[in-house]
Copies of this chain bind each other. A is one copy, B any other.
Amino acid sequence: MKNTNIVQYMTQAFELAKGGLNKTGLNPLVGALIVKNGKIIGKGFHNEFGGDHAEIVAIKDAEKKKYNVKNSSLFVTLEPCCHKNKKTPPCTDMIINKGFKKVYFSSYDPNPLVNKRGIEKLKKSGIKVEMINLKNSLTEINKGFETVIQHKRPRITLKICSSLDGKIFSRIKTSRDVGDLKQQSDANKLRNIHDAVLIGINTLKMDNPLLTYRGKGSKDFIQPKPIILDSHLKSPINSNVFKTGNNPVIFTEKIENYKKEKKLKNMGVEIKTLKSITPRKIINELYKLNLQRLLVEGGGQVFSSFIKNNLWDEIIFYYVKTLYGKNSISMTDSLDKLVDISSDCKSEVKRIGNSFRVKITK
């Protein structure tokens, strides 16, 4: 097979993988493509936590269309699994049994139960294997899964939008929004690649956000789950976020108003009571809730508490061309220590409309 075709097929497999965004829980996003005699005969992606893996979906797709997958090539974005400690049988067995000729994969499974063993197993059974290392944005989709495997917690992105002097709220300005439309559109895209969006009670009250992704492809998109930190259950019942049908979760410390609790539950809101609300405890709970990519959208207190606890994998700062001066609230007004960000962190800076975006990745 030509190299250009191989790259095209693998790219397509990654595009397929994206179909699983916000559907796979803690499982990785995987896409698979079956090619025989220069023709794509089967396609699939992992679509549901505990459901069929992408390879199996692709095989079933081919067979449903009366194709025989024997001697065909499989393109799969992640190393096929070989372990039995899970809900579905190992994909390697199926690939071997079906008589595939060659398997192209893009990265080893970081899960130590699989890592390199899946590929070894295929090789031993006489199937040719080749690693196709694509360097594009699609290959980033499994960063969440890697964090899950490595740290036993969701991947955390902190987002903050401030004036050039680091302020997020002005007591002088009448409008609440710091950013402009282009900045807001760029920031909204972040929700597209996260399966939960977290805010504090102050942000809920002041901004009354929907917390939905509203860009391209949002129609058929499973919206991220809204997470609200609200220690005294002060969330206004008529908040926009409760009307979206996106099954929000409120973390609270004490429920005094049981009538309100009942009302919220009737609106589809899940209420979880913790002894104390700390970033670490919240993250543990979100892991249990099967969420792998968390976007923390503020405000300053929540941002500062995650920074202080060093609980982040990526921070995205938006600076808007304004100076708020002293009559305003800084992004770190509740951060009581100095935090140096390691020079090992990758960083990227870009102009977005009338603003600047600084992205720092651990």
**A residues lining the B interface (CB < 8 Å):** 162-167, 170, 172-173, 180, 304, 307, 317, 319, 321-328, 330-341, 343, 345, 347-351, 354, 356, 358, 360
Contact = CB atoms under 8 A, between A and B. Distances in A.
A321 B338 contact: no
- Pick from A180, A326, A331 the residue with the most CB of B within 10 Å: A326
A325 B349 CA distance: 22
Contacts of A326: 330, 332-336
A358 B325 contact: no
A271 to B, nearest CB: 31
Nearest to A353: B343
A165 B323 contact: no
Q: How many copies does the complex hold?
A: 2
- 5 nearest A-B residue pairs (beta carbon): A166-B166, A325-B335, A165-B166, A321-B341, A165-B332
Given A166-B330, A321-B340, A326-B333, 5 more contacts: A322-B340, A322-B341, A323-B335, A326-B334, A327-B336
A76 to B, nearest CB: 36
Contacts of A332: 165, 167, 323-326
A192 to B, nearest CB: 24
B354 A356 contact: no
A323 B339 contact: yes
A172 B331 CA distance: 18
Nearest to A356: B349
A308 to B, nearest CB: 8
B360 A338 contact: no
Nearest to A334: B326
Contacts of A358: 164, 319, 356
